[in-house]
Structure 1
Amino acid sequence: MEVLSPSTTNIDRFRKPDEYRRHPSLAYIPLVETRFPSAVLYRREGDAWAEESFEGLDAVIALPAIGAQLALADIYENVSFEPGRPIPTR
């Protein structure tokens, strides 16, 4: 799980996932935003990686390779967001 820091977001979004992809045992690389409920999941598909985006507290990330699900509501439990920014829902 990579938590995206506003001060290092470019490193967190681009450089770190490239480094993580080099580890053959990783099946998923989740990136989680701090300012609003949003996540990006990189999923290994053979030798390639697919990208999927999730927004809103009702979104759930399926992780079948490890038999798990990750609800954004659980990730962001007790987190306050920037005032005035709408929280996306599906």
Structure 2
Amino acid sequence: MTDRFSNVHPSLSGPASTGFAILPDDDVDLVETTRGLYLGSGGDIAVVMASGASIVLTSVPGGSILPLRVSRVLDTGTTANGIVGLV
């Protein structure tokens, strides 16, 4: 398979090249800081940003891709499901 962009250095404005399932946890950081989140089903999502700030986004529709640099997705305050970290 040809990948014309294999020699291009990834940037935060470019598309994600991998992802991982996220199980919200109040105490454990993600394995990698994200460059975005995908929400399979909507709801609220409570996160700790890469900066250390904690925020809650409410009523986010399912199927949303959020361009957030997140180090943790909190269980408390998160009602969304099917969360995928995009890197």
Q: Same fold (TM over 0.5)?
A: no
Bigger helix fraction: 1
Higher relative contact order (Cα pairs below 8 Å, separated by 6+ residues): 2
